Amino acid sequence: MSTALFVSPHLDDVAFSCGGTLAALKAKGWTVALITVFTRSVPEPQGFALHCQTAKGLAPEADYMALRREEDRAFAKRLGVDVLTWADLEEAPHRGYASAEALFQPPRADDAITAEVARRLKPVLWEMTPSRVFVPQALGSHVDHVQVVRAVRGLGIPSNRVWYYRDTPYAVRQPDAKPDPALPRKLRPQPVDITAHLARKVEGCLCYGTQLGFQFGGEAGVARMLEAFHHQEAQTHGCSGAAEVFLSQPLPTAGPA
């Protein structure tokens, strides 16, 4: 049986970016695993870190990351994820990135998280030996996404097994955004037909209630944005229906399996 490992910087990135492909592979009988890197609760957050939760309507005393982990657990149950893992590292606002602007600048010189990300991911890869590993392109240049991409490059995964997904909603808001320079060269777009799984993807995204207002303008905006985006993705790549598009080495077939 084939195994797909989805690597998510935050507790929602895989759902928003490539949840349709996850659902498609699950329907084909693949074992589906999801590991999220930055998931640690930090007691009594201060400054910008505190603002990140209060701006979403949450009380200062709320354990923001605990709420998000429960959302992730609900997503995993809804889409039938077989293995759910949290790497328990701190998000960028807890590592000295003190403003929204700082999140989208190059990694700080004193932010040595890349090696720790690699250390947390390596045993998961050894245990699962996945046939396909899904990793962000770091569209939008969020520092946490960038650090994950750079950590994965050093893990020795065979390049023909790695598929780089288009970080969403960044791909919607910044259609001209470029992948991080750490991605290998000579990758090609690989569209995956998710027409039959788009509604399932939307259902999964709705599990992340704390993020829907900020990312989609509310629950009603989820289907509207994703349906339009994935139909446009398909059209751009000469396909009908809806598609999620990855960067990967050329394959003899157009599908993920």
The class level of CATH for 3-248 reads alpha beta
- Summarised one tens digit per residue, pLDDT across range 214-230 is 999 999 999 999 999 99
Average pLDDT, the chain: 95
Give the span between the Cα atoms of 32 and 38, in whole angstroms: 20
Give the span between the Cα atoms of 219 and 221, in whole angstroms: 5
- Summarised one tens digit per residue, pLDDT across range 121-178 is 999 999 999 999 999 999 999 999 999 999 999 899 999 999 999 999 999 999 999 9
Q: Considering only CA atoms, which of 15, 69, 73 is closest in space to residue 41? A: 69
> For residues 120-155, b (16+ Cβ closer than 10 Å) or e, as one string?
bbeebbeebebbbbbbbbbbbbbbbbbbbbbbbbeb
As a dihedral over the C-alpha atoms of residue 91, residue 246, residue 118, residue 1, rounded to 10 degrees, the angle is: 120
pLDDT confidence bin for 250, thresholds 50/70/90: confident
Average pLDDT value for residue range 57-77: 95
- Summarised one tens digit per residue, pLDDT across range 168-214 is 999 999 999 999 999 999 999 999 999 999 999 999 999 999 999 99
The total of other beta-carbon atoms located within 10 Å of residue 53's CB is 20
How far from each other are the two terminal CA atoms of the chain, in whole angstroms?
Answer: 11
pLDDT of residue 1: 78
Three-state DSSP state, 165: strand
Q: Please give the model's pTM, rounded to 2 decimal places.
A: 0.95
